Every structure is written in structure tokens, then in C-alpha cells.
Amino acid sequence: MNCIELRNVVKKYGKVTALNNVSFTIECGEKVALLGPNGAGKSTTLKLIVGLLRPDNGEVLVKGLDPFSTKARGIIGYLPEDASPYLMLTVRENLEYIASLRGVNNVKDKVDKLLDFLALRQYEKNRVMSLSRGNRQKLALALALIHDPEILLLDEPLNYLDIPTQERVISLLNSMTNATMLVSTHIMSIARRLASKVIVLSNGQVVWQGNISDLKKFGEENEPIESIVARLMESVK
């Protein structure tokens, strides 16, 4: 079954065409990295799937549903780029508030587990406005994961995180074997550790999609994967 589907999607911001006829499908359970140069349309793609934006043309479906529907919103977890949780609330208050909005059972247990897992316990009573950027990112990740979403949309999930936390988050995400994941990243090594497929966007268009292992076919012997991906990205101007 398809969990995410974009059909001929066009999205414009005024005169800027951010996405120009983008189509792809992601089957339930697949882990996919969304790659592309700055301004390629990655964040826009995620915002359309999460129901923060509507396409100007074409269709976006989440498990066959309109992303704006309550049902679709309930099965998605979203980590925005530069996520900003409620700054005046404490770390625990943020987690408990979102957990209750999401209808999570056993809120205290779930919050405690995430606080410990992401090494946020010592900050639980601190207001978010006082946290470092990395600790805010950890909280934003916890907020995206608190309801065990079926579909996870992550925009640069490891931004600002220290190396031990990056490793913990990678192993946590890898343990979510049933979840469907679409992860936007600029870092190829992260894409390879979190995903088995890639969609490469450039200038608002899909320039390549397929298994990461097949990317090697486009390169010369011993050519680094980053160099192959850079060439694909530059193929559309």
C-alpha cells in the first residue's frame, strides 16, 4: 500500500515555483531520503505532505487521504526544519501538552522514556527559551515521536545534535521498522544510515529516484557517492 503519494504536484510562492510537476510514491514501511541542493523544494514537499500547505496543482495523498484530514494528521509525526516548541513552557509541559493533544495513553510513562532516551531529564523543568539549540532539537524530535506515528517526516533530524545523541537517534529511528519515513538531509552518510531509497530533487523537480545502492551505477569506479549525487543534482538548472 502507498503511504505517501504525490501526483503532478505544483507549488508556487508568488512568482517562485518551488515544485514543478513532482510525482512519487512511497510504500508503507519504506525509508526514503529526500536529497537536493538548497532551495530544491525539500521542505516544501514535507509541508505539503504534513498538510501545512496546499498544492496549486496536482494531488498529495497520505494513505489515500487528504493530508488536511484529521485522520491523516493523526498518523503523521513531523519534525520541521528549525523546529520551535512552545518557548514559554517547560520541556515536560511541551511533551505532556502535545501528548494529550495526540491522545497518547500513559502520558507520564511515554514522556519519561523520551526524556531519558534523549538525555533531556535534567532540563525537564526548564523553559524551552532557556535551552541550547541542540536540546531544543532533541525536544522537537521527542514531540514528533511521542504518539508513535505510522508516518514520520523529518527535516534535517540530526541538525545541532551532539555525536552521542546522533547515534542514539539513528538507532531509535532504525528500530522503528514498521514506520514509513521520509527524511530530508544534506548529509549522504545520514541518508545511507536512515534510508534504503532516495528521491533527488533539483530546482523543484525529481531528477532521480531509486535504491541508494543503485546510485553507484552512475559513477566511475571508486567515485564517492556524494560526487555522484552532486552530478545528479546539477543535471537540472
Ligand X SMILES: Nc1ncnc2c1ncn2[C@@H]1O[C@H](COP(=O)(O)OP(=O)(O)OP(=O)(O)O)[C@@H](O)[C@H]1O
Residues 6+ apart with CB under 8 A from 208: 198, 199, 200, 215, 232
Residues 6+ apart with CB under 8 A from 209: 24, 197, 198, 199, 200
Q: Does 202 bind ligand X (CB under 6 A)?
A: no
> Alpha helix (H) ranges present in 102-132?
107-117
- Rounded to an integer, what distance in angstroms lies between the CA atom of residue 151 and that of residue 73? 10
- Rounded to an integer, what distance in angstroms lies between the CA atom of residue 237 and that of residue 226? 19
Nearer to ligand X, 44 or 180 (CB): 44
Task: Single out the residue of 59, 4, 2 nearest to residue 182, CA to CA.
Answer: 4
Nearest approach, Cβ of residue 42 and ligand X (Å)? 4
Q: Cα dist. 9→19, 41, 43, 199 in Å?
A: 7, 11, 14, 15
**Which of 6, 32, 35, 40 contacts ligand X by CB under 6 A?**
40
Stretch that binds ligand X, among 40-48, 90-98, 138-146, 190-198 (CB under 6 A): 40-48
Stretch that binds ligand X, among 11-19, 21-29, 99-107, 119-127 (CB under 6 A): 11-19
Helix (H, G, I), strand (E, B) or coil at 67: coil
Work out the widest C-alpha separation in the chain, in whole angstroms.
54
Nearest approach, Cβ of residue 39 and ligand X (Å)? 4
Nearest approach, Cβ of residue 111 and ligand X (Å)? 30
Stretch that binds ligand X, among 33-41, 57-65, 126-134, 171-179 (CB under 6 A): 33-41
Q: Does 16 bind ligand X (CB under 6 A)?
A: yes
Binding to ligand X in span 71-130, by CB under 6 A: 81
Q: State whether the Cα torsion 135-139-144-149 is positive or negative.
A: positive
Q: Does 159 bind ligand X (CB under 6 A)?
A: no
> Which x/- pattern over 46-65 shows residues binding ligand X (rule: CB under 6 A)?
--------------------
**Which of 3, 5, 42, 50 contacts ligand X by CB under 6 A?**
42
Stretch that binds ligand X, among 1-9, 10-18, 209-217, 227-235 (CB under 6 A): 10-18
**Which of 33, 43, 158, 199 contacts ligand X by CB under 6 A?**
43
Nearest approach, Cβ of residue 133 and ligand X (Å)? 16
Grid cell 505539503 in the structure block, residue: 48
Which residues make up the interface to ligand X (CB under 6 A)? 13, 16, 18, 36, 38-44, 81
